[in-house]
Structure 1
Amino acid sequence: MPSLHILANPARFLKIARPLTPILFWAGVALIAFGAWAGLTQTPPDFLQRDSVRIMYIHVPTAWLGMGGWTGIAVSSIVFLVWRHPLAGVAARAIALPGAVFAALCLITGAIWGRPTWGTWWQWDGRLTSMLLLFFVYLGYMALARAEADRGGDGRIPAIYGVAGSVLLPIIRYSVVWWNTLHQGPSIGLTSSSIDPSILWPLWFTLAGFSLFFGAVVLMRMRAMLAVAKAEARMRRMAASEWVGA
């Protein structure tokens, strides 16, 4: 794991993260803007759903990143538990808030899409319910991480929670396959899609754009957390030196 050990050094990480953050941010914004413009103006309405299908260009990326965010928390938590890299714990905590926001946006845009399509804002089917549970699991992780930090813990409890919460990911992914639900089945696969290409193509731009934007936000939060930790350590050293001098 030599490359992982190199990146786990906060100084080396910051040297990479500082220039990378604005690149990811502005590239993400540009791709989101182009994808949203193309989806609103350059694609035909769906045969059945008409113009309501255009919310797909926002809903699908938010669903993807709501689940992808927790995948990042789980992987970071495993790295923290196995190799004890503090930066992995910082990464997991940095991912939690944007992951929760995207999970919430997934639920909101799904409800907006469902109202004209299904005739209801909400249905307790497998996909919607499991995604809602993931949103609450995000909130639980953030509360647990904050409580652990306040009591000066070593971060193992939030990391274990981060790994355990990943059990929801396959449930969300395969809920439309395992159960007869109101939510449509998988539309996009690795090699094929049931969505017409004339409607589908802007999705790749918004998906890439939101992913880059998500990465930029995570890097911003990690840099802020490291700066706070550095400032707190400096304050403790100053307080200790003043106490010794007294």
Structure 2
Amino acid sequence: MWKWLHPYAQPERAYQLSTKLFPWFAILGFSMVTVGTIWGLLFAPTDYQQGDSYRIIFIHVPAASMSMSVYVGMAIASFIGLVWQLKMADWAAASMAPIGAVMTFIALITGSLWGKPMWGTYWVWDARLTSELLLLFLYLGVIALYNSFEDKVIASRAAGILSIVGVINIPIIKYSVDWWNSLHQGSTIKITEKSAITGDMLHPLLLNIFGFGLMIGAITIMRFKAEIIARCSMRPWVKDMAIKEVNK
């Protein structure tokens, strides 16, 4: 059933596929984020309780959602790399870690800016905020492990183990507002129930969430391609490709 995937375990085929996918992810993602951000910041109605300060939600929520999604993707890639010894999965995990760290940092900063007018302070040791900060430390730990060993096989194994162990933090972030008393508001978007915001706020927010996901996919593809080139720099197909680029 999965035989069609086997050729893409080869670096050259994976690089070619990434090259084909990149424009789709980049163009669609950029378009959705542009439309969603302009719609949310300029045309969505003012919130009756929070005023215009709520508009940071159009950046904060997508960044926070992606910070968790990227970590889950990184953990899955690390698991595949550890169990099936697929080096391409390790390279994919290494490509995701810095992107996830940036998304987590953006989520923390925008959350602090939103918290100041709502709570009167930039930071409280709330369960949601604290577990999100721990997520940033996990990302930084994974990045540090990847760069601490000259042997990249050992580096991938060490970072992969931390990635897999750290995934337990994801449900804590997700459900912290339900499990403990929290200043942080509950989930805005609900799958099985009516969402907590109206459609004219929800639609640009969804555009940005999906747009952020596609943009992250595009950036991951760029980093993944760079990782392939770095690890396969002496392969004939890389040299041939470099010669073709020079002769263009």
TM-score by length of 1: 0.90
Query: What is the root-mean-square deviation of aligned Cα atoms in Å?
Result: 1.4
Look up the match of 1:239: none
CA pair 136-94 structure 1, distance change in 2 beyond 3 A = same
Whole-angstrom CA distance in 2 between matches of 1:91 and 1:2: 20
Q: What is the TM-score normalised by the length of structure 2?
A: 0.90
Aligned to 1:187: 188
Q: Does 1:226 align with 2:216?
A: no
Alignment of 1:1-246 (within 5 A): 1-148=2-149, 150-154=150-154, 155-191=156-192, 192-231=194-233
Which string of whole-angstrom CA distances, capped at 9 and with x for unpartnered residues, describes residues 82-111 of structure 1? 111100000000000010000000000101
Task: Give, in angstroms, the shift of residue 76 of structure 1.
Answer: 0.2
Give the direction of change, closer, same or farther, for the CA distance of 1:72–1:130 in structure 2 (3 Å limit): same
For residue 232 of structure 1, report the CA deviation from its aligned partner: 5.3
Structure 1: which 5+ runs fail to align?
Answer: 235-246
Q: How far did 1:153 drift?
A: 3.7
SS in 1 for 2:190: coil
- Deviation of residue 152 (structure 1)? 4.6
Which residue identity does 1:227 align to in structure 2? I
Question: Whole-Å Cα distance in 1 between the matches of residues 65 and 28 of structure 2?
Answer: 19
Q: CA deviation at 1:207?
A: 0.9
Question: How many angstroms apart in 1 are the aligned matches of 2:42 and 2:69?
Answer: 29
State the 1:187 CA deviation.
2.1
Q: 2 CA distance for matches of 1:2 and 1:82? A: 18
Higher deviation after alignment, 118-127 or 190-199: 190-199
Q: 1:48 to 1:184 in 2, by over 3 A?
A: same
CA distance in 2, matches of 1:96, 1:50: 35
| CA distance in structure 2 between the partners assigned to 1:152 and 1:16 by the alignment | 24
The answer on whether the counterparts of 2:138 and 2:163 sit within 8 Å (CA) in structure 1 is no
